[in-house]
Amino acid sequence: MRYDIRRLGILIFIVFISGVSQGMLMPLISIILEQSGVSSTANGLHATGIYLGILVSSPFMEAPLRKIGYQRILQIGGLMTIGSLLLFPVWKSVVFWFVLRLVVGVGDHMLHFATQTWITDFTPSEKRGRTLSLYGLSFSIGFAIGPLLAALVKINMVLPFVLSSIMCGISWVLLFFLRNERPFHANESTSFFDTARRFRSVIKIAWLAFISTFIFGYLESSMNVNFPVFGLRTGLSINEVSTILPAFSFGAIITLFPLGFLSDRYGRRKVLTYVMFGGALSFLGAALSQHSVMMLFITTLCAGMIVGSTFSLGISFMADLLPKDLLPAGNLLCGIFYSFGSISGPFVGGAAIEYISSASFFYCIFGLLRIWKYTFNKNPTHTVSLQTTI
């Protein structure tokens, strides 16, 4: 038990540092490109580099995890992220930065895939919602701190990158205190075609859970890439953008654990349904209060409190539906759908800002959440409250 607590603590700290680096990198690059005259559409497309890295690497990640184990995957992913962060200040080039974003995407995905699968593997089902809420909580706290680091660009462009890489280096050193383990049924065939076969099985069983991770990816990337552009175009200062933007993550911090606990008690599906409805109302309120800094902060905070837990709830929902031997494939698909959402968010939101109005990306989020709720209502699953099955 003592070892499990230490292992969970180190994994949660690694996810926290990953959240800091992602939360810093997305708005930082967006602000630098906007100030360099890059269009909002191109800015949004550029942000997809991280998620393209996730998508390209995902089909090939299950086999290495089964062969070399969780700790080794985490070490490789950490080195890729640290190296990329240190290279950003070396050459200010749109193309070069896009390539680095691809590499960061692969490294971060290795970190999240390994930590998610490891946690879902050793956590009992009756505690899964609470444990994964701690996972989401640590990432959200880091993600909330990240934009504050991005504001240091006013002092020196190099400073945020260096500080973030140092923190990643500290988390990488902690990995040596973990004993390496491999997934359940690690000796199964690990070819690309076997992974594809497991993907098909997982999608048939748990496709509804992946909608949640898609939505979270869309929300997170759209807020962190499109919101700074929206703010600068509507007259907000960099300080105001850097103050409002973390409110989404801070809101998630407040409610992640309570919502995880409620999902353990009343069922993931029921909690997700209420989350969709409340989130839609919050983003509608943000769109209607676009000219008030105070109201933008309040509505963004409320949105984070309601929908900021959708990723951890989605992973828990997926783990409830799948047998243990399919968890690696299920966690990979969580990352893939998250990436699809993250790629869609900046592109759709950037185009909406460019061709419709500054606040139209809020209306896009509102519409997506309404569609999500409709899909859940029309497609019941066989999942029941964990309280009734234990």
The answer on pLDDT for 75 being more than 90 is yes
Question: In whole angstroms, what is the distance from residue 35 CA to residue 99 CA?
Answer: 20
* Domains of the chain and any CATH numbers: 2-389 (1.20.1250.20)
The answer on pLDDT for 57 being more than 80 is yes
Cα–Cα–Cα angle for 36, 347, 25, nearest 5°?
55
pLDDT digits (tens, 9 = 90+) for 79-132: 999 998 899 888 887 788 888 988 988 998 899 888 988 888 887 777 778 888
Q: What is the mean pLDDT of residues 344-352?
A: 81
What is the predicted pLDDT for the residue at 72? 92
Which of 290-295's residues contact partners 24+ apart within 8 Å by CB, and which partners?
290/230, 290/234, 290/358, 290/359, 290/362, 291/234, 293/236, 293/240, 293/244
Least confident of 61-75, 146-160, 296-310: 146-160
What is the predicted pLDDT for the residue at 387? 36
pLDDT digits (tens, 9 = 90+) for 241-285: 878 887 887 888 888 888 888 888 888 888 888 888 888 899 888
Question: In whole angstroms, what is the distance from residue 99 CA to residue 87 CA?
Answer: 11
Question: In whole angstroms, what is the distance from residue 226 CA to residue 350 CA?
Answer: 6
Return the structure tokens found at 274. Answer: 């209420």
Q: What is the mean pLDDT of residues 233-240?
A: 77
**What is the tally of helices (H) and strands (E) in the chain?**
18, 0
What is the predicted pLDDT for the residue at 380? 63
The answer on pLDDT for 9 being more than 70 is yes
Q: What is the mean pLDDT of residues 191-217?
A: 83
Cα–Cα–Cα angle for 36, 299, 259, nearest 5°?
115
CB 313 within 8 A of CB 213: no
What is the predicted pLDDT for the residue at 191? 61
pLDDT tier, 3 (very low <50, low <70, confident <90, very high otherwise): very low
Comparing 281 with 37, the larger pLDDT belongs to: 281
User: What share of the chain in percent tops pLDDT 90?
Assistant: 8
Question: In whole angstroms, what is the distance from residue 225 CA to residue 23 CA?
Answer: 10
Least confident of 67-81, 162-176, 253-267, 368-382: 368-382
The answer on pLDDT for 2 being more than 50 is no
pLDDT winner (highest mean) among 38-52, 103-117, 322-336, 343-357: 103-117
Question: In whole angstroms, what is the distance from residue 125 CA to residue 130 CA?
Answer: 10
Return mean pLDDT, the chain.
82
Q: What is the mean pLDDT of residues 72-77?
A: 92
pLDDT tier, 381 (very low <50, low <70, confident <90, very high otherwise): low
Using alpha carbons, list the distances in angstroms from residue 341 to 219, 307, 310, 336, 349. Answer: 8, 14, 13, 9, 12
What is the predicted pLDDT for the residue at 128? 78
CB 59 within 8 A of CB 192: yes
